[in-house]
A = this chain, B = another copy of it.
Amino acid sequence: MTSANGGQARSAPLVGRDGEPTIFELSSPGRRAASFRSTAMPEWSAEELVPAEYLQDEPVAVAEISERDLVGHFTRLTHRQYSVDLGAYPLGSCTMKYNPKLCDDAVALTGLTDVHPAAPVALIQGWLELLVNLEEVLCRITGMHAATLQPPAGAAGELTGLLLMRAWHERHGEGARRRRVIIPDSAHGTNPASVTLGGYEVTQVPSDARGCVDVPALRERLDGDVAGIMLTNPNTLGLFEEDITEIAAAVHEVGGLLYYDGANLNAILGITRPGDMGFDIVHMNLHKTFAVPHGGGGPGAGPVAVSERLAPFLPGPRPAHDANGGYGWETPAESIGRVHSWHGNALALARAYAYIVANGSDGLHRVAEAAVLNANWLRHRLRGAYDIPYDRPSMHEFVASTAGLRKRSGLRASDVAKRLLEEGFHAPTVYFPLIVEEALMIEPTETESPQTMEALAEALITIAGESGDEARQAPRTTPVRRVDEASAARRLIPTWDASPSAGS
């Protein structure tokens, strides 16, 4: 195979519409970028260092590419990628707010990045202080007693929380008896998946006509075998569960615990707190509410905060104040054990702390108000153009639907999504929550201006008014047009080396 060239920019939308070769296609035998530090070490051969039977017969093919082509390649790839820094990203349930650049600088300090996780406490006082402070502000924000910062993402936080629930019940001799965890039909997919991994059965509770938990239906499902309930509040329709206090009482009555999916806290910052609502366990997605950038899918951080009675079960070791004014590690008496190789996604945690310190109580309150203001304004603005299944004051997001439009012009939620890309906006979340057909879950976030809200509204209204053909053709302006997801699954090509195989 003669190799592709790495100096032609036609895959950059700036000048062309070609595809970008892979680093493997850009490789040429014998080419290299790497250079290594001079160490003056003895130059023993592989054979002198490792018994022959363990040695590879031939080097692993990685890539053979010049630094110039490597830079060209990945730079062009970034030109083929949408991001918050390019434009609005109203992806419901994802809180794609602007990530302040000051947080990048705050965590770029070598005093944070070049610290070994197993270094003795005397050498990591700064890190311990940071983590202790972060735990404290997160508890104050959620109204909880203590927290673990180890979970690296929301789902990991959920599972951690469920294992805390399990530890609690086992501690009280009810481990075997408590088999079920209740989840609303509007719950995020990670909730049921985590419940299963937590060793529980999922019991689904329907939503009522107002889009909230159907309390009578919930009562029917409450029983001595219920370990607890997982709720999202505001729920995934963006609605506040007004009966939360009643729900909490009912669940506690049967000895169950309340788990709060706090992936999206944006709407309640400084307004209300899960702890005050009666929740026992709360996980947070610092990569949503607290502006840790999503990185194209991660890393995030999913700390779990708990009420006082659950604190003894938290994962350890935990950063803590020590006797003589410094900091150290502490493992709770009945800890469920580690949930991360080290101390969680430390640099992501530090980013979130920088964001919280920069905003402070006043700033976070402003965040909640503007997030809710944008969402509600847009909901009003879209009335008439789209169905709004639950058309009442929402929190940080709301759900629209193309169900009606689909009947009229055949316009599907996915068509709106693709067409919106042409208008210079990322698409909302589509087909979620599952209880709304043709759902468009829209979360503008607080960092988009009223002018951007107006432009987004106009784009969405224009699309709704179109015949539907444009949308079905869309996107027409992007580097690739609609991709064939079906064939990707049918003829699975998971690596550049793979020959297509029957994926499904």
Contact = CB atoms under 8 A, between A and B. Distances in A.
Interface of A: 2-18, 28, 31, 66-69, 71-72, 75-76, 79-83, 85-88, 98, 100-101, 421-425, 447-449, 451-452, 454-456, 459, 475, 477-479
A452 B82 contact: no
A75 B84 CA distance: 10
A15 B456 CA distance: 15
Contact of A86 (B79, B447, B475): B79
Given A9-B424, A421-B15, A4 B86 contact: no
Contacts of A423: 8, 10, 16
Contacts of A8: 87-88, 423-425, 452, 455-456, 459
A6 B75 CA distance: 23
A interface SS class? loop
B14 A449 contact: no
A232 to B, nearest CB: 26
Nearest to A14: B13
Given A16-B424, A28-B449, 13 more contacts: A5-B449, A6-B451, A7-B88, A7-B425, A8-B456, A9-B424, A14-B86, A14-B479, A15-B87, A17-B477, A18-B424, A67-B98, A68-B447
Given A68-B98, A79-B86, A85-B71, A451 B3 contact: yes
Contacts of A477: 15-17
Given A9-B86, A79-B14, A451 B68 contact: no
Copies in the complex: 2
A12 B86 contact: yes
A80 B14 contact: yes
A471 to B, nearest CB: 15
Nearest to A421: B15
Contact of A9 (B17, B31, B69, B82): B82
A174 to B, nearest CB: 49
Contacts of A456: 7-8
Contact of A14 (B69, B82, B98, B425): B82
Nearest to A97: B68
Nearest to A423: B10
Given A14-B82, A421-B15, A6 B69 contact: no
Contacts of A79: 13-14, 79, 86
Contacts of A72: 85-87
Contact of A98 (B3, B71, B455): B71
A169 B370 CA distance: 72
A478 B4 CA distance: 23
Contacts of A2: 451
9 contacts: A5-B455, A12-B13, A14-B478, A28-B449, A28-B451, A68-B98, A68-B447, A79-B79, A79-B86
